Structure 1
Amino acid sequence: QNLLVGALVGDPALIGTTDEGYITLDDMINNVIKPLIGTFGSQFGGVMGWEFADDGPPTYDQSGAWANGIGQALATTGPAIDFSIWSLQEPSGSGTSPTTISPSQLVAGYSDAYFYQAADGGQAFMDTQTGITTPGSKHCRTELREMTSSGEQAAWAPSGTNTMDVTGQVTLLGGGSNGKVTVGQVYNSDDSIPLCELQYSGSAGGFVLVYEEAKGAGNTIDLQTPVGLNTSYGFQLSLTNGVLTVSINGQQVYSHTPSANILAKNFYFKCGNYDQTSTAGEVTTTPYTIVEIYSINVVHA
């Protein structure tokens, strides 16, 4: 489906009209462009438009100040992530209670040393070598957890369509050639274990998948998808109609039907930076692993 939105952008007083219905450039950016990016993610096609010249007869000027302003705004709007359906866990906090950032805080533009907009416009997720972990994990993280639009923790059945598409890159990997970082998960909410973790592996030089139906009984599969550091990628995790699939850069590389017992559970998505060589310990802000995300698109139908 395609959606076409029309708008008159400008200051009526400056362009010599008393007509109503115009919106300012700021309104166009904040109330039209950004919400569309947040809703449609990578499916948002951008803006196509023309500017009326400010002198002489009405003509179209595709390189005018307003057109350039919108173009610059599109280039600097940041990651295409709908933060209203995510909460964030960070490696700071105390004891076994990591810092958790709510969806409303993320929507309001939350940032800190662990979570910030990178120079290229991507959302940077920085994990440290040591930090605060949950009781069920040995590793600290800077990672998003799926929520519902009403602010509840998401937990959905594996029937129907359930997909998460992410674009990003790993720019720093702790642990060198032995390093690995989980960039996406389908998480078993009922049993509190990941059904699968998509990991970027230094030794594999690309992605591996950890599949786990019972705690401590996971299998690691090399997906044979070479991707270098500082190289953009796209992946999809899907648990649709009872079948788990993984695609990398548009190519399906894994498909598996979980057991009937597992398909009776509820699930949610996670993504970000869950470094697998980090440990519980001192809270620091020294970068160990950095993952950038440019877009996230979640579909449930």
Structure 2
Amino acid sequence: MYFLETTMLSYLVLLYPILVTATPTATASCAPGGYLSILSDFNLQLPIATSTGGTAEQIPASKLAGCNGYQNSDWFYWNTASSYLVMKAPPTSTPCAKTSGSEHCRTELREANPSSWSPSGTNTMTVKLQVAQADDGDYGTVIGQVFSASFSKPIIELYYNPEGVVTVGLETTTAGGHENFTNIGTIPEKTVFTYELNYSNDELTVSLNGGEANHFSVTQLGTPDAYFKVGDYNQGKSVSSEVDIMSINIVHS
């Protein structure tokens, strides 16, 4: 009987090798860059400063790369049990370091390689994530952006609120601060989903879970060169936010 069981097990291993091929498990000693190699194409903006009263600390792409790259147990780390990148940000009621021109706290990745690109080509970013906790801002936490490299303002921001409503904020002026808002779907908190930001052939689209694309005109902005941002940009006053990222895929051509 033992021989029969051993033989059968060997046969199954040969026939179905995937059954015994496990995905490597994240370890506490390994930084997020060891699991998401694309992090080496981003700079990281944090809600902490290197000096008292200083602006937000920024970690360059070179220091995010690999298992020995940057990690922070409060704001930016790998969840060992569920295998995803945890990005947390405090509300404005909690003192935090901010980037220049912003009133809000963030733990956010800014595309650095390339640092900008033309919308006349193909440019897509697809992110698989869950929002573990959205903030109490008017439209919730910003989880993704197409950002202008020309006038240094968002072209669009993708918001997620505590009710799971996903909203696109489309900028209407190069001065910034004049967004038009469009609800594009509802996904409950702590539910894994994907979004795609596509700024290609001078047209901008946003889609959820591979569904129908929502089209947004950017002619009022002059179709500027841009770059992608992704992460946890807290818009609230009193509620912290958490965004958990499983994967980020970017295509430029």
Deviations 1:46-69 (A, max 9, x none): xxxxxxxxx99xx76628xx9777
Q: Alpha carbons of 1:258 and 1:179: their partners in 2 closer, same or farther (altered >3 Å)?
A: closer
1:1-301 to structure 2, matched below 5 A, reads 62=13, 70-73=21-24, 76=26, 79-93=35-49, 94=51, 95-108=53-66, 109-112=69-72, 113-118=74-79, 119-129=81-91, 130=94, 131-148=96-113, 154-175=115-136, 180-202=140-162, 205-214=164-173, 215-223=176-184, 225-259=185-219, 261-263=221-223, 265-278=224-237, 288-301=240-253
Letter in 2 for 1:293: I
Distance (whole Å) between structure 2 residues aligned to residue 163 and residue 135 of structure 1: 27
The TM-score normalised by the length of structure 1 is 0.69
Q: Per-residue deviation at 1:80? A: 4.1
Task: Output one character per residue of 1:169-207: Cα deviation in whole Å (capped at 9) or x when no partner.
Answer: 0002232x856100000001111100000110225x320
Percent identity over the alignment is 32
Amino acid paired to 1:62: V
TM-score computed with the length of structure 2 as normaliser: 0.81
Answer whether contact 2:172 2:220 (CA < 8 A) is retained.
Answer: no
> Which stretches of structure 1, 4 residues or more, deviate above 6 A after TM superposition?
66-69
- Runs of at least 5 residues in structure 1 that lack an aligned partner in the other structure: 1-54, 280-286
Aligned residue identity for 1:82: I
Q: Which deviates more, 213-222 or 192-201?
A: 213-222
CA contact (8 A) 2:172 2:221 kept: no
Distance 1:139 1:69 in 2: 47
Residue segments in structure 2 that go unaligned for 5+ positions in a row: 1-5
Separation (CA, whole Å) in 1 of partners of 2:134 and 2:157: 17
Q: CA deviation at 1:72?
A: 4.1
| Greater radius of gyration (CA) | 1
Number of corresponding residues: 228
The residue that corresponds to 2:3 in the other structure is none
Q: Which letter maps to 1:268?
A: Y
